[in-house]
Structure 1
Amino acid sequence: MWGCGVIRVLLVDDQQLIRAGLRMLCDAEPDIEVVGEAGNGREAITLAGRLAPDVIVMDLRMPGVDGISATSRVLAERPATRVLVLTTFGDDDHLYPALNAGACGFLLKDAPPAELLNGIRRAAAGDSPFSRDVLQRLVRRATDAGAERPSRVEGLTAREQDVLRLVGEGLSNTEIAERLHIGITTVKTHITALMTKTGSPNRVRLALVAHRV
């Protein structure tokens, strides 16, 4: 797992142009280093073992071994690796198999560059970054399926309640900071407190709490 230094990233996509764009984006960041590129899942499995990346940015649809199979096999060998899916396909047929394979987050390729970079950093830090519509769909599905209702959360401050509500809407930390006119560090502090108070291990669970308490 990432040790708060430079984040070592492996890019996996069968389109060379996509990989080149992602590399340029990452190379401009002082805390992110692209250590390798793979054009298919088989290469990704080999390079993950050889390069020991902190985060793998993984496409799903690739020839031969696809991203879902590659994710499962990489994590079987290197469970501390964080796999962040970056795909054009945000439908449930791709989302849930990727999560079941162990992916820690799911971003769409039309996401703003800043969202992708933030997603890599959040994945490395142990968080679960999701595009807003993906997060909302996860919450809807869990709600519709009658997921276990969390016990009512007591002792939240008014500001924590505001932050929790916006997490439930799928907003990022930056968007929450802008909406509430507070600093992003303050938002992070509130979210850490909310996860502790609600017993939520990740942002998806916290969003579900927001919809059910």
Structure 2
Amino acid sequence: MSATTLRVPAQARPTHVTSRSGSPGRVTVAVHAADPVLRVGVVQQLRSRPEVDLLGEADAEQAQASLVVVDGVDDDVAALLHRLRHNTTTRTGLVVGTLGPGALQRVIECGVVAVLRRTEADQDRLLHLVLAIANGEGVLPGDLLGKLLTHVGGLQRSALDPRSLSTLTTREADMLRLVSEGLDTAEIARKTAYSERTVKNVLHEINTRLQLRNRAHAVGYALRNGLI
């Protein structure tokens, strides 16, 4: 599936690669991955490209582009993405196996500007991703861009709706739906790939924002108002 380029205003570790001293004209890149197999795969694809200067761990914070290579997005990955977001030197791209429900919104909130599925991550697409990031552009697979535009449109409609405080995010609705099916915190965490702490925090936020008493009250409220 083709990617769309758009211009947009456990701890994983950077790969150990010898820096080529930041040669002029090359994009400096740091590759982050907890799984050494994933890390080596991306490094080998980019190492031979003259447009790219791969940085080692000691210099990773100076990279123009940071590539985070993962199977999926969990709390450890989100923590790394948040850390990279606060580094004003680098912009972050994600090479990911699967994106579960609500994960696209989550990674964008974490500062990711470009996404590439691992199944599509050949040398040319990886290079396109890196160059787009360095040029201040964003890259998303076409289907994910459609989902993002739908989500943004929903947020805009909610902002104009006087009942907007009664809406739920995709993640909140997914978790409440699982509560309605009788799942407990641990089971919801396994289903959604979030930590139990995150599940508790999300459900607590729903109750607080909508002034509900407990999970059962929240489920009843959501069902009555067509939110799940």
TM over 0.5: yes
Q: Classify the TM-score, shorter chain.
A: 0.5 to 0.7
Supply the distance in 2 between the matched residues of 1:144 and 1:64 (Cα, whole angstroms). 25
Q: Partner residue of 2:144?
A: 134
The 1:71/1:13 distance shift into structure 2, 3 A limit, reads same
Supply the distance in 1 between the matched residues of 2:103 and 2:41 (Cα, whole angstroms). 23
User: CA-to-partner distance for each residue in 1:139-184, whole Å, 9 max, x for gaps?
Assistant: 2222344459xxxxxxxxxxxxxxxxxxxxxxxxxxxxxxxxxxxx
Higher relative contact order (CA 8 A, sep 6+): 2
TM-superposed deviation, 1:62: 8.3
Q: Partner residue of 2:102?
A: 93
TM-superposed deviation, 1:22: 0.8
- Whether the aligned pair in 1 keeps the contact of 2:34 and 2:70 (CA below 8 Å) is no
| 1:1-213 equivalent positions in 2, closer than 5 A | 5-36=25-56, 48-49=60-61, 52-60=62-70, 66-76=76-86, 78-113=87-122, 114-146=124-156
- Whether the aligned pair in 2 keeps the contact of 1:48 and 1:74 (CA below 8 Å) is no
Aligned amino acid, residue 68 of structure 2: M
The 1:62/1:146 distance shift into structure 2, 3 A limit, reads closer
Which TM-score applies when normalising by structure 2?
0.52
TM-superposed deviation, 1:94: 2.0
User: CA-to-partner distance for each residue in 1:103-124, whole Å, 9 max, x for gaps?
Assistant: 1111111114122220111011
Which TM-score applies when normalising by structure 1?
0.55
- Whether the aligned pair in 2 keeps the contact of 1:9 and 1:53 (CA below 8 Å) is yes
- Whether the aligned pair in 2 keeps the contact of 1:60 and 1:87 (CA below 8 Å) is yes
More strand by share: 2
Q: Partner residue of 1:155?
A: none
Name the stretch that deviates more: 59-68 or 105-114: 59-68
- Aligned sequence identity (%): 16
Aligned amino acid, residue 57 of structure 1: L
TM-superposed deviation, 1:133: 1.9
Q: Pick the structure with greater CA Rg.
A: 2
Q: Please list every run of 5 or more consecutive structure 2 residues that lacks an aligned counterpart in the other structure.
A: 1-21, 159-228
Secondary structure class of the residue paired with 2:44 = helix
Aligned amino acid, residue 27 of structure 1: R
How many residue pairs were aligned? 136
Q: Please list every run of 5 or more consecutive structure 1 residues that lacks an aligned counterpart in the other structure.
A: 38-45, 149-213
Secondary structure class of the residue paired with 2:137 = coil
Supply the distance in 2 between the matched residues of 1:65 and 1:10 (Cα, whole angstroms). 21
Aligned amino acid, residue 99 of structure 1: I
Supply the distance in 2 between the matched residues of 1:138 and 1:126 (Cα, whole angstroms). 19
Supply the distance in 2 between the matched residues of 1:145 and 1:62 (Cα, whole angstroms). 25
